Every structure is written in structure tokens, then in C-alpha cells.
Amino acid sequence: MLRDLLISMRPRQWTKNIFVFAGLVFAGELFNPIFLAESLLAFALFCMASGAVYLINDVADIEKDRAHPVKRNRPLASGRLQPRAAIIAAVVLIVAALPVAYWLSRHFGWILLSYFLLMLAYSFLLKKMVIVDIMTIAAGFALRAAGGAVAVGVPISPWLLVCMVLLALFLGLAKRRHELLLLENNAGQHRGILREYSTALLEEMISVVSASTVIAYALYTFFGHEHQETLPYAYTQRIPYMMLTVPFVIYGIFRYLYLVYQKKSGGSPEEILLHDLPFLINLLLWAIAVVIILYLV
């Protein structure tokens, strides 16, 4: 049962919680051992909260998942895990996570609670509202980033938050498109909100958001040091050199679009992150460039 519980918590999806480290990295505190330990704890707490949400969501969608060609193999949908056990585990996870979150930082505790409640609202209500469903997912990414910064008490550029929201919208739209293509005429039966979308509409939205993501990131590299007066002057002067990393972002967006449109992927961003070698290499090169620019130049 423990194995099925862990599977239902979707540990592969925890890669999304890496956004928690954004504030730490872009505030120049990555190698501060105390801040790093606090960020790791914040990451773990977000994993617990998101795991609880996935358990509750799978219980709520158990009948719909049984009609899905892939999701019907999930522990709850297949009957390997009982709903009662999943609910108990979800309660234990969130009851254990929240006190620790408030101990780490009162503001971080409120952000983690807000994230949990927002995702619950998404599971039962907001995912049924066209466009709002995708924007809610994006808000979850923004809360991760803001929570990570608050947990360690470092500033985070508003431009960086905008980039993360747009990136989350991009990934969410690509996932919706993949679901439409995968489920075809049964899409609306599995996820009712899919009846409100079409591939043409989603492709228009993807075009707008992908271009906006690149522009927002480019603007961050030029203006991200503004409104961050608490950071050392020498550090803020390095941020404009981040413009050298824009090509990596453009390639990453283009590569993802290639996988979505040409390889019919995009249904699971974490799968692309873990299994597409060119995308992974580009991500690593971007990360290396960021560390060199912000910490070594």
C-alpha cells in the first residue's frame, strides 16, 4: 500500500516544486548553507502539500480516470489503493506540513496554506472553468516561487514571477492540447472542461504565451535588478549580463514546441524534462550560465 500511496502522490510531478529555489538562486544566495537548507525544507513541504492534493484529486476523479487510456492504471482507478487510505494519507501530510511551514516562516506558512487551498479549489471547482483552470495552475507556480523566496527572506524580482507565470501557462496549454489529441472524441467525457477548448484555440494561446515568455525573460535580464535595493550593488550589476542566457530560453521554448507539434508530446512536462536529451542539455547549459554570471563573474 505504501508503494501505491507514493505513486499516487506523483513524485515525478514534484519537479514542478523546483520553482521554490528561484528566489534563492536569483538573489545570489545559492551557496549560503543556511538559506539552502531552508529552501530544501520549503521544497519538501511543497512536495508534501502537492502530494496531498494529488491524492485528493485522484479520489475525486476516480471514475473519470477509469475511462482514461493511461490514467486507468493509477492505483486508485485500478483498485489497488482504497479511497479511504488515500484521504487519510492526504490529511496526515498536510497536518504535518503546515506547522513546520509556519515554524520556518509565518508568511511561508500562509503561502503554503494558500497553495493547498487553491489547488483544492482547482480540483473541485476551478478546473471546470474555461481559461481559469489554466490560470490557476500558473498561480500555483507563482506561489511556489514566492514561497521559496519568503522562506529564506530574500527578494524576488516581479519580472521573474511574470516569467514563471507565463511559462506555467505555456506548459498548461500544451498539456491541454495533448489531452485533446490523445482522447479525441472522448476528451469531454474524461475532463469536461476540454469541451470548451479546441486545438486551434489552444494553438493560438500557445503562440501568444510562448512569445510573451521569451519577451518577459528578456526584460527580466535588463530590468530584473530594479526594485531589489536590498541586494548588494555588485550583484545587481551582474543581472543585465543575464541577457546572454536568452538564447538558451529561446531554444528551450522552440524545442518544447517541436516536441509538442512534431512528436505529439507535451502531456507530461516532467517526462520531457527527464527524457528528452537535447532539452535536458540545454537546461543544464542555461543553469551553468546563470551560476557563472551571477556568482563567478
DSSP secondary structure letters along the chain: -HHHHHHHT-GGGGGGGGGGGHHHHHTT-TT-HHHHHHHHHHHHHHHHHHHHHHHHHHHHTHHHHHTSTTGGGSHHHHTSS-HHHHHHHHHHHHHHHHHHHHHH-HHHHHHHHHHHHHHHHHHHTGGGSTTHHHHHHHHHHHHHHHHHHHHHT----HHHHHHHHHHHHHHHHHHHHHHHHHHGGGHHHH-GGGGG--HHHHHHHHHHHHHHHHHHHHHHHHHTTTT-TTS-HHHHTTGGGGGGGHHHHHHHHHHHHHHHHTS---S-HHHHHHH-HHHHHHHHHHHHHHHIIIII-
User: How many alpha carbons lie under 13 Å from residue 92 in its C-beta half-sphere?
Assistant: 8
The model's pTM:
0.84
Name the residue among 278, 261, 280 with its Cα closest to residue 270.
Answer: 280
pLDDT of 85: 82
Q: Are residues 151 and 201 in the same domain?
A: no
Which letter does DSSP use for residue 293 in this model?
Answer: I
Which domain-ending residue is among 156, 180, 212?
156
Q: Are residues 98 and 196 in the same domain?
A: no
pLDDT in tens, 250-268: 999 999 999 888 877 766 7
Q: Are residues 47 and 101 in the same domain?
A: yes
Q: Are residues 63 and 197 in the same domain?
A: no
CB 41 within 8 A of CB 166: no
Q: Are residues 143 and 214 in the same domain?
A: no
Q: Are residues 13 and 115 in the same domain?
A: yes
Q: Are residues 127 and 74 in the same domain?
A: yes
pLDDT in tens, 56-86: 888 887 777 676 666 777 777 776 778 788 8
pLDDT in tens, 5-59: 777 788 888 888 988 998 888 877 888 899 999 999 999 999 999 999 988 888 8
Which domain-ending residue is among 111, 129, 156?
156
Least confident of 14-18, 90-94, 193-197, 271-275: 271-275
Q: How far apart are alpha carbons 290 and 10 in whole angstroms? A: 29
Q: Are residues 273 and 152 in the same domain?
A: no
Q: Are residues 138 and 207 in the same domain?
A: no
Which domain-ending residue is among 156, 188, 220?
156
Domain residue limits at 180: 162-297
Name the residue among 1, 99, 2, 82 with its Cα closest to residue 45.
Answer: 99
Q: Are residues 42 and 130 in the same domain?
A: yes
> Domains in the chain: how many in total?
2
Q: Are residues 182 and 83 in the same domain?
A: no
The answer to whether residue 233 scores a pLDDT higher than 50 is no
CATH number for the domain spanning 93: value is: 1.10.357.140
Q: Are residues 123 and 78 in the same domain?
A: yes
Which letter does DSSP use for residue 71 in this model?
Answer: G
pLDDT of 113: 95
